[in-house]
C-alpha cells in the first residue's frame, strides 16, 4: 500500500508540474499509453522538434517509457501513470492539440477536456481497418484522424454516414512506423547471411480469446520445431501484459530446444529481418512484416478478432480480411500438421509474393517514406488555424 501511495503521489506531482506550464508551452501535447507508442510517435516528434523547431509535451502512463530519458530541451516529459492522475489529466487538460494512439475517447474513463476546447488527433498504431478490430465508437469523439490509407478514409466516412455522425477531419498521412522500418532495415539487407541453411519462422499472434495464442500455440510450436525450423515466438504486447503465466510456461516447455527463442524485446525488429516467413492470425503486425520486409505471411484461420459486432453495417471489407491471400496463404488450424508444406511453398513463391506486396503497398498506403512530413504539416497548419480562432 505504501508503494502505491508513493507512486500515486509521484504521478500527481508530475501532473501538477504539467499543469503549472504556461499555456504557450502546452500547444502540442502527445499522450502515450505505453512504451510501445513511441514507435508510432518518434518520427513525427523528430519532424516537429528538430525540423520545424516546435516545443512539445510528452505525457506518458509508462514508467519505462524511453522518451522520459531524453536530453532534448524542446521535449518536456511527464509520467502520470494509469490511475487518478491520468483521469484528472484528461478531464482538466488545457492544450491546443492532443495527439494519441489510444482509441475509445469518451467511451470509458478517458474523456475530452471539460474546461478547454482541445483539438484531439488520433494516430493509428496499426495498418488495420477501423470497423472490425476496434470498438464501434472508437473514433467518434476525435476531431482529426491521421489516416494510413484510403481504405480507412472510406470506412470512416461510411461509418459517419450510416450513424449520422459529425464528419471528422481525415488526413491522408500514411504510417510512419512502416517508413521507419523500411528506412532502417533496407540499409541492413546485407546482414542476412547468403549461405543461410535454416528457415526461420517468426510466430507473432494477435490477442483475444479465440486467437492463435489462446488455442493452439503449444501444438504449433512443437510441430515447427519438429520440422527443424528456427522459431522466434513474439507475443502481442497485450498478451505479455495479461498472460505472463502462460508465456513462462511456453518458455519452460521449449527453452531446452536451441531452435526456440522467446522474444519480449518488442522495440527490436531484427527478428523481422532475419525471418523467412511470419505465422500470424489477425495481428496488424503481419502487415508490418509484409510491407516493410516484403516477405510472406502464413495465416492460421482462427475466428476473426471482432471488437465491433456491428462491423457489417459498414460496406467495406476490412483490409486484414481482404489482403491475407494476396500477401501469403491461409491455413486451417486443423491442418497445422501439414504446415511445413505451406511454408516451403511460400518460400518457393517468395519472389512473386514480393512483387505483389510492393504493388499492394503502393496502392493502399499513403505517402510511403514521407508520412511524418505530411503529419507535421497538418499539425502546424492546424495550430495556425486555432491561433486565428
- CATH code of the domain containing 102: 3.40.50.11720
pLDDT of residue 8: 64
Name the grid cell of 146: 491521421
Per-residue cell: 314: 459498414
Tell me the percentage of the chain whose pLDDT exceeds 90. Answer: 88
**pLDDT tens-place string over residues 274-306:** 999 999 999 999 999 999 999 999 999 999 989
Q: Is the pLDDT of residue 9 over 90?
A: no
Q: What is the rounded CA–CA span in Å between residue 267 and residue 38?
A: 9
Please give the pLDDT value at position 4: 45
155-159 LR contacts (CB < 8 Å, sep 24+): 155/129, 155/130, 155/131, 155/314, 155/316, 155/318, 156/130, 158/314, 158/315, 158/316, 159/130, 159/131, 159/313, 159/314
Q: Same domain, yes or no, for 136 and 242?
A: no
On whether both 164 and 204 belong to a single domain, the answer is: no
- Nine-digit cell at 247? 508465456
pLDDT of 3 over the 80 cut: no
The pLDDT score that the predictor gives to residue 7 is 65
pLDDT at 14: 97
Confidence of residue 6 (pLDDT cuts 50, 70, 90): very low
Q: What are the pLDDT digits (tens) for 11-25?
A: 999 999 999 999 999
Grid cell in block for residue 127: 495498418
Tens digits of residue pLDDT in 263-277 = 998 888 999 999 999
pLDDT tens digits for range 41-87: 999 999 999 999 999 999 999 998 999 999 999 999 999 999 999 99
- The average pLDDT across 171-183 equals 97
On whether residue 4 sits in a domain, the answer given is no
| Residue 367 confidence (pLDDT) | 98
Higher-confidence residue of 389 and 368: namely 368
The answer as to whether 333 is a domain residue is yes
Q: Is the pLDDT of residue 207 over 60?
A: yes
- Domain total of the chain: 2
Is residue 2 pLDDT above 80, yes or no? no
Cell of 168: 471528422
294 and 159 share one domain: no
Do residues 112 and 220 both lie within one domain? no
Residue 228 maps to a domain: yes
Query: Residues 381, 233: one domain?
Result: no
- Other C-beta atoms closer than 10 Å to the C-beta of 252 total 9
Selected residue with higher pLDDT from 311 and 196:
311
Does one domain contain both 22 and 116?
yes
Domain that holds residue 340: 190-364
DSSP-derived 3-state class of residue 10: helix
Q: What is the pTM of this model?
A: 0.94
Number of other CB atoms surrounding residue 301 within 10 Å: 15
Tell me what pLDDT residue 197 has. 84
**373 and 300 in one domain?**
no
Q: Are residues 356 and 372 in the same domain?
A: no
Amino acid at each position: 500500500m505504501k508503494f502505491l501511495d508513493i507512486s500515486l503521489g509521484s504521478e500527481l506531482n508530475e501532473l501538477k508540474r504539467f499543469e503549472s506550464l504556461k499555456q504557450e508551452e502546452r500547444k502540442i501535447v502527445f499522450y502515450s499509453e505505453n512504451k510501445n507508442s513511441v514507435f508510432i510517435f518518434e518520427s513525427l516528434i523528430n519532424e516537429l522538434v528538430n525540423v520545424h523547431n516546435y516545443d512539445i509535451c510528452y505525457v506518458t502512463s509508462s514508467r519505462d517509457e524511453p522518451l522520459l530519458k531524453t536530453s532534448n530541451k524542446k521535449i518536456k516529459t511527464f509520467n502520470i501513470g494509469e490511475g487518478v492522475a491520468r483521469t484528472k489529466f484528461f478531464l482538466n487538460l488545457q492544450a491546443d492539440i492532443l495527439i494519441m494512439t489510444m482509441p475509445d475517447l469518451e467511451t470509458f474513463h478517458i474523456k475530452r477536456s471539460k474546461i478547454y476546447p482541445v483539438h484531439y488527433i488520433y494516430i493509428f498504431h496499426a495498418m488495420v481497418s477501423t470497423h472490425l478490430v476496434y470498438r464501434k465508437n472508437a473514433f467518434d469523439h476525435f476531431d482529426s484522424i491521421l489516416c494510413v490509407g484510403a481504405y480507412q478514409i472510406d470506412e470512416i466516412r461510411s461509418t459517419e454516414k450510416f450513424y449520422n455522425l459529425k464528419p471528422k477531419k481525415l488526413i491522408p498521412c500514411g504510417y510512419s512506423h512502416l517508413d521507419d522500418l523500411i528506412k532502417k532495415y533496407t540499409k541492413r539487407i546485407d546482414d542476412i547471411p547468403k549461405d543461410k541453411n535454416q528457415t526461420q519462422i517468426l510466430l507473432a499472434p494477435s490477442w483475444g480469446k479465440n486467437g492463435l495464442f489462446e488455442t493452439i500455440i503449444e501444438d504449433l510450436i512443437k510441430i515447427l520445431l519438429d520440422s527443424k525450423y528456427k522459431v522466434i515466438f513474439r507475443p502481442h504486447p497485450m498478451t505479455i501484459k495479461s498472460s505472463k503465466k502462460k508465456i513462462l510456461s511456453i518458455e519452460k516447455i521449449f527453452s531446452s530446444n536451441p531452435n526456440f527463442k522467446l522474444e519480449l524485446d518488442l522495440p527490436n525488429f531484427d527478428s523481422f529481418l532475419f525471418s523467412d516467413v511470419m505465422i500470424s492470425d489477425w495481428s496488424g503486425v503481419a502487415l508490418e512484416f509484409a510491407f516493410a520486409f516484403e516477405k510472406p505471411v502464413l495465416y492460421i484461420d482462427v475466428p476473426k478478432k471482432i471488437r465491433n459486432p456491428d462491423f457489417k453495417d459498414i460496406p467495406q471489407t476490412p483490409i486484414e480480411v481482404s489482403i491475407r491471400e494476396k500477401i501469403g496463404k491461409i491455413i486451417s488450424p486443423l491442418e497445422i500438421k501439414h504446415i511445413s508444406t505451406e511454408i516451403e511453398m511460400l518460400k518457393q513463391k517468395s519472389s512473386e509474393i514480393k512483387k505483389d506486396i510492393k504493388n499492394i503497398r503502393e496502392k493502399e498506403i499513403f505517402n510511403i517514406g514521407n508520412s511524418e512530413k505530411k503529419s507535421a504539416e497538418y499539425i502546424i497548419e492546424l495550430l495556425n488555424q486555432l491561433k486565428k480562432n
